[in-house]
Structure 1
Amino acid sequence: MDDAEALPDKTPRTARGRRTLRKLLDAAAVEFGEKGFHEASISSITRRAEVALGTFYTYFDSKDALFRALVGDMSEAVKVSARDALSDDMGALEIERAALAAFLSFAREHREIYRIIDEAEFVDPASYRDHYETIAARIAKRLKEGADAGELREGLGETEAWAMMGMNVFVGLRYAVWSDGDPDEIASRVNALIARGIAAEPD
């Protein structure tokens, strides 16, 4: 067993191995974010990670396998950033506001996520689809919980979840990747749109 002590499925079982895997994923995020999948190279990723080229194959069979793992890792990071911003005392609308603000902050710090997820549509369509389906499912679950609590209207489901996710994705592109909008201000404006819609208030 090498110093990473990887399991047969290449999942490290020691703290040292997990640190090395983390370094490879972080280096891959920068490499793929800057160069794109096709121009990125394993040797460049290992140099960025400051690990030996041979160490790469302790964790991954190929660049494609690393890319798939990175998409999954980024999806998990998005989930964690939203989860950590929420608390049990928040109402349904406040949960959506806080989750979006957390995503905007995450996207600002990790702008490469947009290029990597977009490339996944062509490099690994299954992980691309899974990324968005998983997020939409979480939003749909929150909408149902809000309706069950009497804070949101009944009948909200998958369609509304995908619409909200699409709005969040492009708001993030505009105000986290292309410019630095204030996450709380932007999230509050989007939240007001969710709460009141765009129709004029009746007289």
Structure 2
Amino acid sequence: MDAPKVSSTKVANAEAGDTKTPRTERGRRTLRKLLDVAAIEFGEKGFHEASVSSITRRAGVALGTFYTYFDTKDALFRALVNDMSDNVKSSARSALDDDMNALETERAALHAFLEFARDHKEIYRIIDEAEFVDPASYRAHYEGIAQRIEMRLKSGAEAGEFRQDLGEVEAWALMGMNVFIGLRYAVWGDAKSDLEDVAARANRLLSEGIAT
């Protein structure tokens, strides 16, 4: 499996928690490489079977280099979950346009997520494992997504395009739908799955509901 490539990715949240912030461009590239390789390693083997030595070998860096950036494998895992959360957010934002109406925004955000998940299938295993390895990161990941959806719903309500009573419950419901659509069509689906059509059908459910 090739290392995941996210062209617009920043080294997310490097200054937070116990990740050591690189001071040079070379250091930032090395940190990026470690995160990308860790995504493959954790995605293939899971947290407990993955090892620091295997990650550094795959990244082509010395074992000691790892400890320049992380104190433990747990610290790397936390940084990776934060990084993936940031990438999900960035992929959605890059697909949105100020001229889109509220429903178009939700369709574009879902389509962008599906494309991201197809390219980075390991995100599902890693985020699911975070529930047990680092519950705080797991909760922060989903709370962050739900908050962004809720903000979009309220913005749509202010524009007169959505009902005025939409809030947290609807945001979590919408997120749950998106997550499982991603699992079915981006992760379990094949390369021929029409993700744009999938996003459009989910969007129709938002606009028309399911009642006759």
1:182 Cα offset (Å):
1.4
2:194 to 174, 182, 195: 182
TM-score of the superposed pair, with normalisation by structure 2: 0.90
Aligned ranges for residues 73-88 of structure 1 at < 5 Å? 73-88=83-98
Aligned pair count reads 195
TM-score of the superposed pair, with normalisation by structure 1: 0.94
RMSD: 1.3
Residue-by-residue CA offset, 1:47-81 (whole Å, 9 max, x unaligned): 11111000000000000000000000000000000
Residue-by-residue CA offset, 1:96-139 (whole Å, 9 max, x unaligned): 00000000000000000000000000000000000000000000
Runs of 4+ displaced beyond 2 Å: 6-9
1:107 to 103, 117, 124: 117
* Structure 2 residue matching 1:69: 3-state secondary structure: helix
* Structure 2 residue matching 1:13: 3-state secondary structure: coil
Q: Could you list the runs of 5+ residues in structure 2 that have no partner in the other structure?
A: 1-13
Q: Could you list the runs of 5+ residues in structure 1 that have no partner in the other structure?
A: 1-5
Output the CA distance in 1 between the equivalents of 2:195 and 2:113. 8
Contact 1:102/1:183, CA 8 A, preserved across alignment: no
1:9 Cα offset (Å):
6.0
Aligned ranges for residues 154-165 of structure 1 at < 5 Å? 154-165=164-175
* Structure 2 residue matching 1:199: 3-state secondary structure: coil
Matched, 1:33 2:43: yes
Query: Which protein has the larger Cα radius of gyration, Structure 1 or Structure 2?
Result: 1
* Structure 2 residue matching 1:78: 3-state secondary structure: helix
Matched, 1:54 2:64: yes
Residue-by-residue CA offset, 1:126-184 (whole Å, 9 max, x unaligned): 00000000000000000000000001111100000000000000000000000132111
Output the CA distance in 1 between the equivalents of 2:23 and 2:91. 25
Partner residue, 2:126: 116
Aligned ranges for residues 133-172 of structure 1 at < 5 Å? 133-172=143-182
Look up the equivalent residue of 2:60 and give its one-letter code: E
Partner residue, 1:3: none
Partner residue, 2:204: 192
Output the CA distance in 2 between the equivalents of 1:178 and 1:153. 34
1:13 Cα offset (Å):
1.6
